[in-house]
């Protein structure tokens, strides 16, 4: 009798321990309600089989297309706690790259909502680590490994660059808002991943585009988001921006564009993004 009781007690303790280190995917018998304020995290959540539990996303959550049907809470840099709380989530997932303001994070925490932050390192290894960490956290390791295998397979097929070129990313929202990407940005990391280099190396983050700095950098290829290129009226419109036409990229009309989230997400589609950029650059 005592032995049976001991086994039952030990089993009960193991169950309690297991669930104490893993998040419950339901609350009071109802599916956990999740708000994601990062496009890459949203994409991974879908890959883990949790799309039906996502009740809100930020505007960078554009893939898969089914996320368009989910309520938006704004851009991760300008999200308000009120917009998130209106969706009555049980959990808010954020990336350390999202730059959700400390004030908003504190407001959410004070209401009893669980805010979970995942570290996102912008590299092949960092992407794989992020997917596995989210898979472990949400008890979906099998689904996570499927995504990891896809990333590894796609990147293994990535051809080596025939010759290293200087690439310059321009963030555009009309000709009135033109910024260039410096070191340690997602674009800088992507350029390195495909065997090319950033045309500017004297600053980090983003700075306003000037004709002087543009000519000094003299990029071989200009890279923009598809939406950004559209905002300046396409390639011909971009060539009218002072200095562009005098660069090697401008003279050769070597201007490429890609979907913004695909290009900078460093998520499950990293290999596909790298392959597409590499092909367009060549």
CB 170 within 8 A of CB 228: yes
pLDDT in tens, 160-218: 898 999 999 999 999 899 999 999 999 999 999 999 999 999 999 999 999 999 999 99
pLDDT in tens, 241-257: 999 999 999 999 999 99
Residue 137, phi then psi, degrees to nearest 5: -65, -40
pLDDT in tens, 8-54: 544 444 434 433 344 557 555 578 999 999 999 999 999 999 999 99
d(CA 82, CA 85) in angstroms, rounded, equals 5
Note the pLDDT of residue 77: 72
d(CA 93, CA 97) in angstroms, rounded, equals 12
Sort 29 into a burial class: Cβ within 10 Å, 0-12 / 13-18 / 19+: exposed
Residue 78 binned pLDDT confidence (cut-offs 50, 70, 90)? confident
The domains found in the chain, sorted by start residue, are 23-155 (3.40.50.1980), 166-281 (3.40.50.1980)
Note the pLDDT of residue 120: 94
Note the pLDDT of residue 122: 96
Cis bond leading into 48, ω under 30°?
no
Residue 172, phi then psi, degrees to nearest 5: -125, 135
For residue 85, the tally of other CB atoms under 10 A from its CB is: 16
pLDDT in tens, 101-138: 888 888 988 898 999 999 999 999 999 999 999 999 99
Note the pLDDT of residue 98: 72
């Amino acid at each position: 009798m005592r032995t049976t009781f001991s086994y039952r007690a030990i089993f009960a303790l193991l169950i309690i321990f297991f669930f104490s280190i893993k998040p419950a995917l339901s609350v009071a018998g109802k599916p956990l309600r999740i708000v994601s304020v990062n496009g890459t995290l949203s994409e991974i959540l879908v890959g883990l089989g949790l799309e039906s539990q996502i009740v809100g996303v930020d505007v960078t959550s554009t893939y898969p297309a089914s996320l368009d049907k989910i309520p938006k809470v704004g851009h991760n840099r300008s999200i308000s706690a009120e917009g998130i709380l209106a969706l009555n989530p049980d959990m808010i997932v954020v990336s350390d790259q999202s730059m959700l303001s400390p004030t908003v994070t504190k407001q959410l925490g004070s209401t009893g909502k669980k805010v979970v932050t995942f570290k996102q390192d912008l590299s092949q290894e960092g992407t794989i680590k992020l997917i596995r960490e989210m898979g472990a956290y949400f008890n979906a390791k099998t689904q996570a490994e499927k995504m990891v295998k896809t990333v590894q397979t796609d990147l293994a097929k990535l051809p080596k660059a025939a010759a290293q070129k200087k690439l310059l990313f321009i963030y555009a929202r009309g000709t009135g808002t033109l910024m260039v990407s410096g070191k340690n940005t997602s674009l800088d990391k992507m350029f390195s991943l495909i065997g090319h280099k950033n045309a500017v190396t004297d600053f980090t983050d983003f700075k306003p585009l000037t004709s002087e700095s543009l000519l000094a950098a003299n990029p071989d290829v200009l890279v923009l988001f598809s939406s950004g290129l559209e905002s300046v009226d396409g390639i011909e419109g971009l060539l009218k921006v002072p200095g562009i036409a005098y660069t090697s990229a401008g003279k050769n009309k070597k201007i490429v564009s890609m979907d913004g989230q695909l290009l900078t997400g460093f998520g499950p589609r990293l290999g596909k993004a790298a392959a597409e950029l590499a092909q367009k650059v060549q």
